[in-house]
Amino acid sequence: MVNNELPPINFRWELIWENRGILAKGLSVAISVSITALMLSLVLGLLLALTRMSRFKLISGVSSVYVNIFRGIPALVSVIWVYFGWSLLFGHNFSVFQSGVIALTLLYSAFFSEIFRSALQAIPTGQREAGLALGMSRLKIFRSIIMPQATKIALPNIGSMYIGMVKDTSTFAVIGLAEVVRVVQDLNSINFQPFVLFTAAALLYVFVAFIVDQIFRSIEKNFSYPPTGKVAKFLTKGKKTRIDKLMA
């Protein structure tokens, strides 16, 4: 006779607290990989946006092809290419950390390129014309007039993209990077509590998303006109006293 009865459900939620140290370690790995990749993707993304807006068809074509390919590739495929593919093709191994960073950068620079491109195109042409009419160089116009305004427009989108980057680090469990999901898989193989442990992972990602959102909101305040953020106020303190003196 076959016993069709399920065993009694026994959720061991205390496992989360008991393993808080190792879970936190996993989270810190996820954050280090994604922040490093964020910095690199921002630089590469801006370069791609600028080259894509180039009037030279070859240059804009190359970055257009790059963007259209890489924004369509899943993080799992990207990291397998970088970690296994690269070493098979060239005999050189990236560490799991490096592979994670490169995989994320390849994908997200494509997204950031689109974010920057639309932000740059949203600046009215009159801004550039005013700079030119005032005898400013093109580089100076870009740096001091266009870029600060484009950054303000791009910031909210960069924030939500970064939340996506953190979540995509979960796929790097496949190459053995000790991020949140990998840690949870290891704990599960000992404790057989998938529901509890993967819920713990989910809670960690939600927590990070919340914090990232808060951080970006406070960064955005420093880019409002006039800036209301604490950092901007601190940085422009000297300017404010100078203006007060000039107005007196």
Per CB under 8 A, residues contacting other proteins are 124, 126-127, 129-137, 140, 144-145, 148-149, 152, 223, 225-226, 240, 242-244, 246-247
Give least dist CB 15 to other proteins, A: 50
Annotate 37-50 with b (16+ C-beta within 10 A) or e (fewer).
Answer: bbebbbebbbebbb
Closer Cβ to other proteins, 69 or 243, answer by number:
243
CB-nearer residue toward other proteins: 230 or 240: 240
- Give the span between the Cα atoms of 139 and 143, in whole angstroms: 6
Shortest distance (Å) from residue 246 CB to other proteins: 4
Cβ neighbours around 235 below 10 Å, total: 12
Nearest approach in angstroms of CB 158 to other proteins is: 17
Closer of 87 and 241 to other proteins (Cβ)? 241
Closest CA to 70 of 121, 114, 27: 114
Going by the DSSP 8-state scheme, the letter that residue 145 receives in this structure is I
CA dihedral 44, 46, 51, 52 (to 10 degrees): 110
Nearer to other proteins, 6 or 133 (CB): 133
Q: How far is 24 from 183, CA to CA, in rounded Å? A: 10
Name the minimum Å distance from CB 180 to other proteins.
Answer: 38
